[in-house]
């Protein structure tokens, strides 16, 4: 999907902004399982996670050959972060990929792309995982 986005931006002489929305961990103190409880520790240092994610994101984007893309790492709901970033940068188009998580996952957690269809401030282009730029 990133390769497709970079190729589209190149063809249209457009800016490319890549956003990674880091999910917010829901604090869980104990999860009962067979009469016992397992303590779940909170996520590590958020700043370190942001820096690592931003560094990785820059490397992945650079691999597409699109050297001057802006990379954003933000924490929160993907739909909220994408919508807010699109409004903030006055985006003309949002490009999202598809996942093959299955119906149960979709029923339990919903779909970012479907939520963006109704909440996006601009058009949304969905790129299948199998799509390759031409």
Instruction: Give the model confidence (pLDDT) of 107-123 as tens digits.
Output: 555 577 788 888 889 99
Instruction: Give the model confidence (pLDDT) of 28-58 as tens digits.
Output: 444 444 444 444 444 455 667 777 777 788 8
2-24+40-127 topology per CATH: Rossmann fold (3.40.50)
CA gap 43, 129 in Å, rounded: 29
Of 95, 130, 128, whose CA–CA distance to 16 is shortest?
95
Instruction: Give the model confidence (pLDDT) of 59-91 as tens digits.
Output: 888 888 877 788 888 888 888 999 999 999 999
DSSP state, residue 122: S
Q: Where are the alpha helices (DSSP H) in the chain?
A: 2-11, 46-63, 78-89, 103-109, 112-119
Going from N- to C-terminal start, the domains of the chain cover: 2-24+40-127
Average pLDDT value for residue range 6-12: 89
Find residue 70's DSSP bridge partners.
Answer: 17
Per-residue pLDDT band for 6 (boundaries 50, 70, 90) equals confident
């Amino acid at each position: 999907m990133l390769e497709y986005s970079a190729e589209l931006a190149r063809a249209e002489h457009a800016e490319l902004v890549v956003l990674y929305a880091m999910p917010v961990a829901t604090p869980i103190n104990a999860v009962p399982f067979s009469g016992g409880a397992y303590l779940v520790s909170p996520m590590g240092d958020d700043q370190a996670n942001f820096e690592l994610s931003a560094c990785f994101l820059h490397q992945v984007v650079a691999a597409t050959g699109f050297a001057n893309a802006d990379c954003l790492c933000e924490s929160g709901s993907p739909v909220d972060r994408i919508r807010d970033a699109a409004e903030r940068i006055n985006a003309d188009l949002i490009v999202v990929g598809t996942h093959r998580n299955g119906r149960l996952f979709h029923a339990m957690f919903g779909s970012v792309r479907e939520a963006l269809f109704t909440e996006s401030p601009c058009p949304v282009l969905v790129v299948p995982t199998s799509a390759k730029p031409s």
